[in-house]
A and B are shown apart, each in its own frame.
Chain A
């Protein structure tokens, strides 16, 4: 049955080459932990992506309850955590996942760095990777405000003070992020929500796409 559906679509759209492009390549010995256990260091990048997928999925479920409004944000998180079935697990996955992403990305970066895998011809992929790192830190920063608890508010105020201390464009930059030159409040929360849920994930997916495309094009770097 499934085969027939597949054939029916394939006959019209020729979809086989699409996934064959992704599926048909060989995994060299030096990155395969089945041959050399030390090759587990090559897992860090993939695990980072795995946690990113967890973050996207758990985040989607969180927005089913979360209300980006200073009156309700905390209440909605409290309700999600204490009343909703498995709400604590879903929020826990998103909360701890944010830390695990940073850890995995850090390890992945070190692996690439110490193996000198960023050298010609892979300079561009390294740059894209570091940009992903920055976007992740941005996601961590903006996500922090959303529960609207004491820690969220006051840590964000500190961050905004640092942003404001940027020479020349400090004030403009703060107004752009916080929605107001002085007040950290309703506007700030909705802006951070928009940045956290729409802007940064869009950038992130684009960068990750470019990252994978380049790996596919250049292959993984050879053994040392």
Chain B
């Protein structure tokens, strides 16, 4: 097929299609002097764009360490899972009344199936010769609708997620062996502190207490009056026991 300049491999929609004009755009040689050899001229420019892109990408990786949560613990039933951001729209879709429970099949299969299926078969659904977006309003409209839906669902999923709690539930915990014979430990055991803060004070539903930055007086105050989600009045011992508890918590140093 030697049209135009006779370049063998420049094919611009040159596959003949029964003389249906609109699908055959002008030959490259209609734009004299402005085409460019791929090798080596254009390739060099591509590499320069690639180098800039790579530099930006490396800055990102250096600035933000890849996250790693604590080792998988299948017995932890309180963990609320969250997929990676590019699956959030599917995750959110499954939360609505008519796409979950008995209608799960609708949210998990039918709606994504239709959307991705029509994306796959787009060339056969949109068969007209027109290429400009405004000349094929149905294709453009459905695509814009799809994009809007994906963005909206992703945003909804992100907005309804408790990022602080998610960060806490995944944190790598330092497990420090604590002295379980210490009178302060006995006090904690007796007052039910360990139920939330863990047998090694590593934290369960409550935060971990290893290597706390709070002073002994602050610890006493929190034990009696509560803090954040912790209700007041949990500590029911004597003042002496309270002192033992505070000293004990202060005595536990972080391992590192």
Chain A residues at the B interface, C-beta cutoff of 8 Å? 21-30, 32, 34-35, 43, 46-47, 50-51, 54, 70, 74-75, 77-78, 81, 88-89, 91-100, 102, 110, 113-123, 126-127, 130-131, 134, 137, 140-141, 144, 147-155, 157-159, 162, 165-167, 184-185, 216-224
Contact = CB atoms under 8 A, between A and B. Distances in A.
B195 interface: no
Given A23-B39, A121-B23, 6 more contacts: A27-B35, A88-B65, A116-B133, A121-B17, A134-B116, A150-B170
Residue in A26, A54, A220 whose Cβ sees the most chain B Cβ within 10 Å: A26
Contacts of A94: 66
Identify the 8 closest CB pairs spanning chains A and B, nearest first. A222-B25, A116-B131, A23-B39, A154-B81, A92-B61, A219-B11, A95-B66, A123-B123
B66 A88 contact: yes
21 contacts: A26-B7, A26-B28, A27-B36, A27-B42, A28-B28, A29-B28, A35-B34, A43-B49, A74-B71, A88-B66, A91-B66, A93-B57, A95-B66, A116-B132, A118-B123, A140-B84, A153-B73, A155-B82, A158-B81, A158-B83, A221-B13
Given A26-B36, A127-B120, A218 B42 contact: no
Interface stretch (B101-109, B181-189, B216-224, B233-241): B101-109
B122 A149 contact: no
B35 A114 contact: no
**A contact patch SS:** helix
B65 A137 contact: no
Contacts of A151: 67, 69, 81-82, 170
Contact of A29 (B34, B108, B109, B133): B34
A123 B26 CA distance: 20
Nearest to B91: A158
A77 B172 CA distance: 13
Nearest to B73: A150
B9 A150 contact: no
B83 A155 contact: yes
Nearest to A216: B9
B25 A223 contact: yes
Contacts of B85: 99
Nearest to B14: A219
A21 B39 CA distance: 11
A114 B133 contact: yes
Residue in B40, B105, B120, B126 whose Cβ sees the most chain A Cβ within 10 Å: B120
